[in-house]
Amino acid sequence: EPEVTQTPSHQVTQMGQEVILRCVPISNHLYFYWYRQILGQKVEFLVSFYNNEISEKSEIFDDQFSVERPDGSNFTLKIRSTKLEDSAMYFCASSESAEGKTQYFGPGTRLLVL
């Protein structure tokens, strides 16, 4: 069964450093998402991406964040200058289409900012 994959599974970084989180969505999917979950809190939407551009972003997704689809398979989330409060689990998701279609989540990257 096809699945969303993410790398790395864990990332530890110093405050102020840049991190890039990588995702490989399911191959025939067209819509891509990043969510995050701070420990003990709910899963929160960050950004959606379709047709090589951001479709929607949340208030969390400020200028420190960017997304890219550098080739036909990878979908990346970059945090330019990490803050302590960026420590969270980051989930990538993809769906075949937007209209109520199921989003499939990757296993997540656990980011710890020290």
Partner 1 sequence: RKEVEQDPGPFNVPEGATVAFNCTYSNSASQSFFWYRQDCRKEPKLLMSVYSSGNEDGRFTAQLNRASQYISLLIRDSKLSDSATYLCAVNDRGRDDKIIFGKGTRLHILP
Nearest Cα to Cα of residue 77 among 86, 69, 67, 85: 67
In the complex, what is the shortest distance from the CB of residue 98 to partner 1, in angstroms, rounded to a whole number? 5
Q: Which position among 91, 94, 111, 113 is part of the footprint of partner 1 (CB under 8 A)?
A: 91
d(CA 11, CA 49): 23
Which residue in the block uniquely carries the two structure tokens 């990588």? 22
**Contact between 105 and partner 1 (CB under 8 A)?**
yes
Which 39-58 residues touch partner 1, going by CB under 8 A? 41-45, 48, 50, 55-56, 58
**Contact between 14 and partner 1 (CB under 8 A)?**
no
Instruction: List b or e across 91-104, with b for residues whose CB sees 16 or more CB atoms inside 10 angstroms.
Output: bbbbbeeeeeeebb
Return the number of the residue (15 or 98) whose C-beta is nearest partner 1: 98
In the complex, what is the shortest distance from the CB of residue 67 to partner 1, in angstroms, rounded to a whole number? 13
* Collapsed DSSP state (helix, strand, coil) of residue 90: strand
Assign 3-state DSSP to the chain and report helix, strand, coil percentages, each to 5: 5, 50, 50
In the complex, what is the shortest distance from the CB of residue 3 to partner 1, in angstroms, rounded to a whole number? 10
Site residues for partner 1 per CB under 8 A: 31, 33, 35, 41-45, 48, 50, 55-56, 58, 89, 91, 93, 95, 98-108, 110
